Every structure is written in structure tokens, then in C-alpha cells.
């Protein structure tokens, strides 16, 4: 099989700022047809979403998928809880992670892989305020070095 066609639909940029990303997983999402059509149009928001495990299954909460304009009665609640599709081994590994203090499951992005809608799910540990400041200082220093390097090459 050839290379998969991946098109990123939405990203949760705030997650990379607020958390240390330990490990990432690719999960399918249980969706209805009108939700898939809205996602293909890019009408999805991951900003305040998070994932959790309930009765041995992984769910994503607070993910907003706007109702499909032509969906009429088939539209579902935009903020409903959606099941993530992972295999049992991955779910058991995630359960082990989140039982440790400070770890949580955070959706990083939603993308189309071929014709399938997938979510990049991360095991993350929350950053303290001083960690965020340190990351911002590093990013600014790197940007300044690149600017100096570019100025030198001209």
C-alpha cells in the first residue's frame, strides 16, 4: 500500500503550550454522517476538549463539531461525548498512564487519513507557570538566533 493521504483539519495549539507531551496515539472517532461532513468542512473545535476513560472505553469530551447546514433532523448535539476507537492493548496502556499522578489525555489534532477521520491523542503532564515561561523564553531566544543568522547571511 502507498503513502497515506493526511489532511489536518483542526489542531489544539493550547495543549502543546499547557502540557508536556509524553506519548501520542492515533485513534478513530465514532461519528455520525452529518458530523463527518462538518469535519470535512473544517467546522470542528478542539480548544477545551479532553479525553477520559469510562468503563474500559476512551471518550472525548467538549469537542465541538458544528451542525451540518444541510443535515436538518440528522444533526446531533455539537458538544456530545464521542467514543474513541483504540485497541485493548492501547487502552490498557492509557489506563496505566492516567492512574499515575498528574497525567491526562489531551486531543492534539483531528485529521483525515484517506477517507477516515482520525484523532491524535496525547498522554500529557501539566506544566507549571514557570515551565511555560521557560518555554516562551526558549522560543524567543531561538527566534532571535534565527533572525541574527539570517541577517549575517545577507
How far is the C-alpha of 4 from the C-alpha of 108, rounded, in Å?
19
> Is 118 within 8 Å of 28 (Cβ atoms)?
yes
pLDDT at 2 over 60: no
DSSP label of 96: H
3-class SS of residue 95: helix
CATH T-level topology, domain 6-127: Small Protein B; Chain: A; (2.40.280)
Cβ neighbours for 51, distance < 8 A, ≥ 6 positions apart: 58, 59, 60, 61, 84, 105, 106, 107, 121
**Chain mean position to CA 8:** 11
Cβ neighbours for 77, distance < 8 A, ≥ 6 positions apart: none
pLDDT at 114 over 60: yes
Mean per-residue pLDDT, 5-14: 83
User: Which pLDDT belongs to residue 1?
Assistant: 41
3-class SS of residue 8: strand
pLDDT at 92 over 80: yes
Nearest CA to 9 out of 107, 110, 78 is that of: 110
Asked which of 41-45, 52-56, 68-72, 138-142 is least confident by mean pLDDT, the reply is 68-72
User: Which pLDDT belongs to residue 150?
Assistant: 79
Query: Any alpha helices (H) in 69-128, and if so which ranges?
Result: 88-99
User: Which pLDDT belongs to residue 3?
Assistant: 57
How far is the C-alpha of 20 from the C-alpha of 25, rounded, in Å?
15
Mean per-residue pLDDT, 104-114: 87
Amino acid at each position: 500500500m502507498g503513502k497515506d493521504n493526511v489532511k489536518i483539519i483542526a489542531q489544539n495549539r493550547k495543549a502543546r503550550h499547557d502540557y508536556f507531551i509524553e506519548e501520542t496515539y492515533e485513534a478513530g472517532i465514532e461519528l455520525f454522517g452529518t458530523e463527518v461532513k462538518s469535519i470535512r468542512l473544517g467546522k470542528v473545535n478542539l480548544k477545551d476538549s479532553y479525553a477520559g476513560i469510562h468503563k474500559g472505553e476512551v471518550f472525548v469530551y467538549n469537542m465541538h463539531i458544528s451542525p451540518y447546514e444541510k443535515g436538518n433532523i440528522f444533526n446531533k448535539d455539537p458538544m456530545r461525548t464521542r467514543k474513541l476507537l483504540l485497541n485493548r492493548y492501547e487502552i490498557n496502556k492509557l489506563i496505566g498512564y492516567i492512574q499515575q499522578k498528574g497525567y491526562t489525555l489531551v486531543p492534539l489534532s483531528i485529521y483525515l487519513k484517506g477517507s477516515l477521520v482520525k484523532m491524535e491523542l496525547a498522554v500529557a503532564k501539566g506544566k507549571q507557570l514557570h515551565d511555560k515561561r521557560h518555554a516562551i523564553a526558549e522560543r524567543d531566544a531561538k527566534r532571535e538566533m534565527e533572525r541574527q543568522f539570517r541577517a549575517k547571511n545577507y
